[in-house]
Amino acid sequence: MTKKDKFELVEKFIIENRETHYRLAYSYVRNKENALDIVQDSIFKALKSIDRLEEITYLKTWFYRILINTSIDFIRKHQRITVMDDEILSVHLPKLEDEMTDMDLQEAIDQLPPKYKTLIILRFFEDLKLEEIAAVTDQNVNTVKTRLYSALKKLRIEVGEEFRL
């Protein structure tokens, strides 16, 4: 495969999966402008370092890794800003009680340290396999498993049969 073809493939992947990538970024920063910035930044980084993607089969995990690192970097840089636009809005909106508990859980996930949060998002929202998560986060499968368990424990979520780790 030539560089040109590889570039085309990556380009296609980025365009086709733009909404997934946006959601992933959004779940870290909870704000439209920042999520768009992260998507943009990640595309730059990816296309610039395309040589480091050795096999096209790793495209997805490779891009996720860039996206997540960019998101976490962003949070780190903007740590002092604790209140986020979209959240202020939702706090003022009337809600059903049921949704309130969901909000609490959502907040609890947001409060998790990034390394745990990433695992929850990838496993339960993005439906990635443990092996894939291991590749994205660059740790071994056992570590992923242990950390997922402790993240769930922190959240007091019980893992049902249908979500076997």
Cβ 109 to other proteins shortest distance, Å: 7
Q: How far apart are the first and last CA of the chain?
A: 36
Region near other proteins per CB under 8 A, out of 37-45, 60-68, 73-81, 132-140? 37-45
Q: Contact between 2 and other proteins (CB under 8 A)?
A: yes
Q: Contact between 97 and other proteins (CB under 8 A)?
A: no
Cβ 7 to other proteins shortest distance, Å: 8
Are the CB atoms for 122 and 128 separated by under 8 Å? Answer: yes
CA neighbor of 68 nearest in space, from 164, 161, 137, 140: 137
Region near other proteins per CB under 8 A, out of 2-10, 66-74, 111-119, 143-151? 2-10
Cα dist. 96→1, 81, 101, 108 in Å? 54, 28, 9, 19
Q: Contact between 47 and other proteins (CB under 8 A)?
A: yes
Binding residues among 142-161 for other proteins as defined by CB under 8 A = 157-160
Place of tokens 């769930």: 152
Q: Contact between 43 and other proteins (CB under 8 A)?
A: yes
Q: Which long-range contacts (CB under 8 A, 24 or more apart) does 42-46 make?
A: 42/66, 42/67, 42/70, 43/14, 45/70, 46/10, 46/14
Residue from 110, 124, 128, 134 binding other proteins (CB under 8 A):
124
Q: Contact between 53 and other proteins (CB under 8 A)?
A: no
Are the CB atoms for 45 and 66 separated by under 8 Å? Answer: yes
- Which residues form the interface with other proteins (CB under 8 A)? 1-5, 7-8, 11, 14-15, 18-19, 22-23, 26-27, 32, 36, 39-40, 43-44, 47-48, 101-102, 105-106, 109, 121, 124-125, 157-160, 162-163
